[in-house]
Amino acid sequence: MHKIVLALAAILIASPAFAAPKDNLTALRAAYETARAAYEKKDWPAAKTAFTEAHRQMPQRAGALYNLAIAERNLGNPARALALLNSAAAMGVAFDPANDADFAALKSDPGFAKVVARFAANAKPFCDCTPFFTGTHDPFIAEGIAVDGARVLIASVHTRRIVAIANGRQTDFIATLPDSLSPFGMTVDSARQTLWVSAAAIAQGGTTAKGSALLAFDSETGALKAKYPSPDANALLGDVARGGDGTIYVSDSLGGLYRLAPNATVLSSLSEGFSSPQGMIASADNRWLLVADYAMGLLRLDLKTGTVTTVAVPPNVTTLGIDGLARDGADIVATQNGIAPARILRLHISADGKRLTSIQLLSVNGATSDPSLIASDGHTAYAVGTAQWSSFDDGKSDPVRPTAPWTIVKFK
């Protein structure tokens, strides 16, 4: 659901359980407002102080480093500016300082050419993957993905249906979702023969209706078994995950989390303190939930106490803008489409869910330049490489730019 929530990433809903991440984001916004005013006035000492505070509040935000480099350059500290630019480049983002007037005075410095090359290299396409399926140019918007035995299920936001891919062929599995809803996240519960789908009514699905729901379909026949409406009429349910005890977790891209306990008949609120939660993974012991938040990175929710903490990451690593998460053996695979360039990552999280211990790039741009969600059967991961979101604008039912064929790639 990444293209919808880009403009909503700073929305906060108060919740005491989320004090640390929420307060960090609030302080970050305040620091950026101060820095913006200082930048417009060319008050570089004040801008430096504000951007330093922004970086302290959220070290994973490469933009704070880049802007701090601008302040340092204008304060006559070129070496410090270059060091900050190199730190931003180490995060894997692709800024373009060569075309930034604030860095014009550095163009003759050999170190500047090197850092410009580092940013350019970050955007160089590669993919440790193979093609799995290529759809048509027709408007589709591939979003959710689930592996069910020998077939892969794909959710189409625009056509409001779910298709199955097996043996290189595409067939309709669920022709049309009910109540003007478009499918987003999906997960299969083989033991209960159920396909769980988070769904929302949005303009890109060709409707002016509103509403969100968790839907349960028979995973063999496609018949609708149950519908669980969101308790919040304004929610945009975007992703879904299943715990080992059968609990279903659903994220609301506008800030909340819900759960459906085994045998429950309604969704219950789990928390309302996130900024823009996306993919989730429940721990094997069902004690904590790993949540990808677009604006705050990877967060860990203690399911017993409700406490939320930021997952610690190594230096020069950013987990901001992660959309989809899937368990892949002992590791986690993730789509990161909220930064430029878009990337697909393999992450190793500590057993207690508190630390990201290693990160591996699986893909950058190219075959996965417009990714959405990802799924795995434990041996092979499947990701939407071209979703078609980039062809649509918020509030528009039809594409405003040419649509490329939607694609699925796979990673061993």
- Residue carrying the six token digits 């039912």: 397
Q: Measure the CA dihedral 399/405/406/411, to 10°.
A: -150
Say how far apart CA 345 and CA 333 lie, in whole Å: 6
- Which pLDDT score is estimated for 28? 84
List, for residues 229-253, the tens digit of each pLDDT value.
999 989 999 999 999 999 999 999 9
- Which pLDDT score is estimated for 37? 94
> 350 phi and psi, to 5 degrees?
-60, 160
- DSSP collapsed to 3 states, the chain: CHHHHHHHCCCCCCCHHHHHHHHHHHHHHHHHHHHHHHHHCCCHHHHHHHHHHHHHHCCCCHHHHHHHHHHHHHCCCHHHHHHHHHHHHHCCCCCCHHHCHHHHHHCCCHHHHHHHHHHHHHCCCEECCEEEEECCCCCCCEEEEEEECCEEEEEECCCCEEEEEECCEEEEEECCCCCCCEEEEEEEEHHHCEEEEEEECCHHHCCCCCCEEEEEEECCCCCEEEEEECCCCCCCEEEEEECCCCCEEEEECCCCEEEECCCCCCCEEEECCCCCEEEEEECCCCCEEEEEECCCEEEEEECCCCCEEECECCCCCCCCCEEEEEEECCEEEEEECCCCCCEEEEEEECCCCCEEEEEEEEEECHHHCECCCEEECCCCEEEEEECCHHHCCCCCCCCCCCCCCCEEEEEC
- Residue carrying the six token digits 């070129």: 78
Give start-end residues of each CATH 1.25.40.10 domain in the chain.
Answer: 2-122
Task: Tell which residue, 265, 250, 248, has the closest CA to residue 194.
Answer: 248
Say how far apart CA 340 and CA 92 lie, in whole Å: 8
- Which pLDDT score is estimated for 113? 97
List, for residues 325-338, the tens digit of each pLDDT value.
999 988 999 999 99
Task: Tell which residue, 158, 162, 198, 200, has the closest CA to residue 396.
Answer: 158
159 neighbors 397 (Cβ within 8 angstroms): no
Q: Residues of the chain whose pLDDT is less than 50? A: 2-19
- Which pLDDT score is estimated for 273? 67
In whole angstroms, how far apart are CA 347 and each of 69, 339, 363?
A: 29, 17, 13
- Residue carrying the six token digits 């078994």: 225
Give start-end residues of each CATH 2.120.10.30 domain in the chain.
Answer: 126-411
Superfamily of domain 2-122: Tetratricopeptide repeat domain (1.25.40.10)
Which CATH number describes the domain made up of 126-411? 2.120.10.30
162 neighbors 155 (Cβ within 8 angstroms): yes
